[in-house]
């Protein structure tokens, strides 16, 4: 018996498989993230006291450096030295707290070959979009004779939410190029470039080869609809007397005092209940006019799955407080992203447009702001499986 546990937490996936292509001379890792001038522990403590989200970060970073012209005294940036005429594999990891990010390199095309440690059908792009917890591997060919080229990571946010709008910068430096050479720049997408992000996501397809087949479940045992939302719950110890929380189907996870798997194995009573709702308790226009009551229920509730059963899970964003892109991570599993769209999910019409042939396989997916994402997987990894919203500090005590 597998049990899905619905939890709100931060997960960063950094598990990568090697991609073997003749001619690759080296791998480089690009870890993109956020940085604060203040002590991060102080920021977290202040957010917990106020019941609000943490302060917007002061910079985005690439491998720990924000780049030039970011108001930092050291004025340091990450530099990659490359030889002309070679192919390199770049491993890009979004380790940011909340921000989805665009990533591009001036004057170069990127060939996407892998996401979240699973191979994809290769396709070329000049910009990738990557959500917190996701990984993307790309090939780049150094097809210029010489030069220095800007590497940039900038935010993507198509909801009315304040984000750090600073761009992290690094340099792709061809060997033999003088340090005094002016860096070739590139135009960056606007932060609300929804069409660009959607096009990139829609181009992702599983390799689905004989060696790496896409075993998409076609017969479904559990058909679930989870609404993903924010809420406001009372908090006597918070400055404002309330706290912003995250919820799935209006349930905010409460951390147990002992391991859930331990409680299940030893049949310890009172630790969790197995009554997590497979559908929203109240149906309404999820992406339209919202209820006036923002309060969520609290509990350590699980949804039981029989071993080897198949699951279709539709993740529906809501406009509770504000629509927002929610990265979702399913612990211990990969899943197939069979569909996504804007507005409210329509089981009759939207299911007909699902890709059941070569959908991309991931372990972390973004639910679009004001939209939905549908995933399928087989419950073949027994245990307490956490389904996590990657929103730090918006969890229950």
pLDDT band at 239 (very low <50, low <70, confident <90, very high): confident
- Lowest-confidence segment of 37-51, 75-89, 271-285, 335-349 by average pLDDT: 37-51
Residue 280 lies in a domain: yes
- Is the model's pLDDT at 392 over the cut of 50? no
Provide the percentage of residues in the chain whose pLDDT is more than 70. Answer: 88
pLDDT tens for 332-342 read 889 999 999 99
Distance (Å, whole) CA 109 – CA 105: 8
pLDDT band at 273 (very low <50, low <70, confident <90, very high): very high
Domain that holds residue 63: 16-203
Whether residues 67 and 165 share a domain: the answer is yes
- Is the model's pLDDT at 10 over the cut of 90? no
- Is the model's pLDDT at 329 over the cut of 70? yes
Other CB atoms within 10 Å distance of the CB of residue 59? 19
Structural tokens at position 58:
């002061």
What is the rounded average pLDDT of the residues 174-179? 95
Q: What pLDDT is recorded for position 389?
A: 52
Whether residues 164 and 236 share a domain: the answer is no
Residue 114 lies in a domain: yes
Four-residue CA torsion sign, 108, 110, 111, 113: positive
- Is the model's pLDDT at 6 over the cut of 50? no
Whether residues 80 and 198 share a domain: the answer is yes
Pairing mode, strands 371-378 and 335-342: antiparallel
Q: What pLDDT is recorded for position 145?
A: 86
Residue 211 lies in a domain: no
Report in angstroms the alpha-carbon separations of 105 from 124, 126, 145. Answer: 13, 7, 16
pLDDT band at 14 (very low <50, low <70, confident <90, very high): very low
The pair phi, psi for residue 193, each rounded to 5°, is -80, 70
C-alpha dihedral (110, 208, 374, 190), degrees to nearest 10: 10
Whether residues 56 and 156 share a domain: the answer is yes
Whether residues 33 and 178 share a domain: the answer is yes
pLDDT tens for 95-121 read 998 899 999 999 999 999 999 999 999
- Is the model's pLDDT at 71 over the cut of 80? no
What is the rounded average pLDDT of the residues 281-308? 89
- Lowest-confidence segment of 65-69, 87-91, 217-221, 385-389 by average pLDDT: 385-389
Q: What pLDDT is recorded for position 358?
A: 98
Total structural domains within the chain: 2
What would the DSSP string read from start to end of 21-68? -TTEEEEEEEEEEEE-SS-HHHHHHHHHHHTSPPPPPSEEEETTB--T
| CATH label of the domain that carries residue 263 | 2.60.40.420
Whether residues 148 and 276 share a domain: the answer is no
Whether residues 263 and 183 share a domain: the answer is no
Distance (Å, whole) CA 230 – CA 373: 17
Whether residues 177 and 237 share a domain: the answer is no
Whether residues 319 and 272 share a domain: the answer is yes
Last residue of a domain, one of 147, 170, 203: 203
pLDDT band at 21 (very low <50, low <70, confident <90, very high): low
Residue 152 lies in a domain: yes
Last residue of a domain, one of 203, 238, 261: 203
Whether residues 198 and 90 share a domain: the answer is yes
Whether residues 176 and 77 share a domain: the answer is yes
Whether residues 195 and 290 share a domain: the answer is no
Residue 110 lies in a domain: yes
Q: What pLDDT is recorded for position 391?
A: 44
- Lowest-confidence segment of 53-67, 78-92, 129-143, 328-342 by average pLDDT: 53-67
- Is the model's pLDDT at 7 over the cut of 50? no
Distance (Å, whole) CA 53 – CA 51: 7
- Is the model's pLDDT at 5 over the cut of 80? no
Q: What pLDDT is recorded for position 194?
A: 95
What is the rounded average pLDDT of the residues 270-294? 90
pLDDT band at 353 (very low <50, low <70, confident <90, very high): very high
Residue 209 lies in a domain: no
- Is the model's pLDDT at 199 over the cut of 90? yes
Residue 9 lies in a domain: no
* Higher pLDDT pick, 328 / 108: 108
Residue 397 lies in a domain: no
């Amino acid at each position: 018996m597998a049990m899905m546990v619905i939890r709100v937490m931060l997960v960063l996936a950094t598990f990568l498989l090697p991609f073997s292509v003749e001619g690759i001379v080296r791998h480089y890792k690009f870890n993109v993230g956020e940085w604060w001038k203040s002590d991060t522990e102080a920021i977290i403590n202040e957010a917990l006291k106020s019941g609000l989200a943490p302060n917007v970060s002061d910079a985005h970073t690439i491998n720990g450096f924000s780049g030039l012209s970011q108001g930092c005294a050291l004025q340091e940036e990450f530099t990659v030295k490359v030889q002309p005429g070679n192919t390199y594999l770049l491993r890009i990891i979004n380790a940011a707290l909340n921000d989805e990010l665009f990533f591009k390199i001036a004057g170069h095309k990127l060939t996407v070959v892998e996401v979240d440690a699973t191979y994809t059908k290769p396709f070329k792009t000049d910009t990738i979009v990557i959500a917190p917890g996701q990984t993307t591997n790309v090939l780049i060919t150094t097809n210029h004779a010489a030069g220095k080229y800007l590497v940039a990571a900038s935010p993507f946010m198509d909801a009315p939410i304040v984000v750090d709008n600073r761009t992290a910068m690094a340099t792709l430096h061809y060997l033999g190029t003088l340090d005094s050479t002016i860096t070739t720049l590139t135009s960056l997408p606007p932060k609300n470039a929804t069409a660009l992000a959607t096009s990139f996501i829609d181009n992702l397809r599983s390799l689905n080869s004989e060696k790496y087949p896409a075993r998409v479940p076609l017969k479904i045992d559990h058909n679930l609809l989870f609404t993903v939302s924010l809420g406001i719950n009372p908090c006597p110890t918070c400055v404002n007397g309330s706290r912003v929380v995250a919820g799935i189907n209006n349930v905010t996870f409460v951390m147990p005092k002992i391991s859930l798997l331990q409680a299940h194995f030893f049949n310890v009573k009172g630790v969790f209940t197995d009554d997590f709702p497979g559908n929203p308790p109240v149906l309404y226009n999820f992406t339209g006019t919202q209820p006036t009551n923002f309060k969520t229920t609290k509990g350590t509730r699980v949804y039981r799955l029989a071993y080897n059963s198949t699951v279709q899970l539709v993740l529906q964003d809501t406009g509770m407080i504000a629509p927002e892109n929610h990265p979702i991570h399913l612990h211990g599993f990969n899943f197939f992203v069979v569909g996504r769209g804007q507005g409210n999910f329509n089981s009759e019409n939207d299911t007909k447009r699902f890709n059941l042939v070569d959908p991309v396989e991931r372990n972390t997916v973004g639910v679009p702001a004001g939209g939905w994402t549908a995933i399928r997987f087989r419950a073949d990894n027994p245990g307490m499986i956490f389904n996590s919203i990657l929103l730090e500090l918006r969890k229950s005590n």
